[in-house]
Amino acid sequence: MRGMSASTLVAAWTKARRAFESAGLDTPIADARLLLQAAAGVDRIDIVTDPHRPLPEGAAARLDAMIARRLAREPVAYITGRQGFWTLDLDVTPAVLIPRPDTEAVVHVALALAKDQPSPRVLDLGVGSGAILLAILAERPDATGLGVDLSPAALEVAAANAARHGLGGRVTFREGHWGEGIEGTFDLIVSNPPYIEAEAIAGLQPEVATHEPRGALDGGPDGLDAYRALAPHVARLLAPGGGFALEFGLGQGPAVADVLAAHGLPVEAFKVDLTGRDRVAFGRKAHAA
Ligand SMILES: C[S@@+](CC[C@H](N)C(=O)[O-])C[C@H]1O[C@@H](n2cnc3c(N)ncnc32)[C@H](O)[C@@H]1O
């Protein structure tokens, strides 16, 4: 098919899928479909129910450009600019980590922790695209939030996502290092900090190692730097009785619990992710005696 543009939805899907299969990508069928949807402005149902529909003007060239980017191992979400998380369709750019389905476990825990708290004030440390904080605010119309990130470019993405989902009036964003300079207290503090051991990053799949922001991945030599840095802020900024929910990497649960306990934050339990592995440490700050 070299030199020829595929002319129908199914021909274009097949062309992209074959290119991705030849390159050994993990999910060639889904990747091809998602890129075709973005290039042709169609949805999954269109492709399945009307496969021989001619491609719209310009779609073949757009798809070819997207295929080339994907073959360079750029993640699909950066190419389409979109990623679903919880109930939200989020904008993503290479300035933010692509929100992962496993991180929805943080949202589950957070909603349960704040269940009986009217009008909870929520703090998200390392807000990235806004995934966790905006999912919580979408579920709790009485909640307000503050999202902090070191990256101004990430905060722009988060603010755009908040506005697009009608949540802009209940959330503020702040550039900063974890809780530094923040005053007041919060009823709920959530975080999915960088937790990959620095030396392990180069060995990750190229989609992550080459394309996702290093500042969203790198947890220092043992992967725990961010927990040590943010734990004192969580302890200071959490209202007595308030809940915390922190995501961590595989096998890091006990070490993260030790760091939090050292700052007076006892971990009640771990919540598992979609694959059944411990993923979120959660608990509450004690009420003053
Ligand atoms: C693993 S990403 C999580 C993004 C988003 N919360 C999610 O779950 O998809 C970690 C985020 O923490 C931010 N970050 C890293 N170091 C930080 C620091 N010292 N203070 C504030 N944010 C930081 C990164 O820029 C990145 O957006």
pLDDT digits (tens, 9 = 90+) for 125-166: 999 999 999 999 999 999 999 999 999 999 999 999 999 999
Can you give the pLDDT at residue 4? Answer: 56
The answer, yes or no, to whether residue 243 has pLDDT greater than 80, is: yes
pLDDT of residue 288: 74
Instruction: Establish whether residue 215 lines the binding site of ligand 1, counting it when its CB lies within 6 angstroms of any ligand atom.
Output: yes
* 149 ligand 1 Cβ < 6 A: yes
Query: What is residue 145's predicted lDDT score, i.e. its pLDDT?
Result: 98
- Is any ligand 1 atom within 6 A of the Cβ of residue 150? yes
* Structure confidence at residue 289 as a pLDDT band (50, 70, 90): low
- The overall pTM is greater than 0.85: yes
Domain boundaries along the sequence of the chain: 9-72, 87-284
Give yes or no for residue 128 CB within 6 A of ligand 1.
yes
pLDDT at 1 over 50: no
Establish whether residue 216 lines the binding site of ligand 1, counting it when its CB lies within 6 angstroms of any ligand atom: yes
Burial of 280 (0-12, 13-18, 19+ CB in 10 A): buried
Q: What pLDDT score does 287 carry?
A: 86
Return the CATH superfamily for domain 87-284.
Vaccinia Virus protein VP39 (3.40.50.150)
Atom of ligand 1 nearest to the CA of 127: 6
Mutate which of 151, 197, 246, 279 for ligand 1? The one with the most ligand atoms within 8 Å of its CB, which is 151
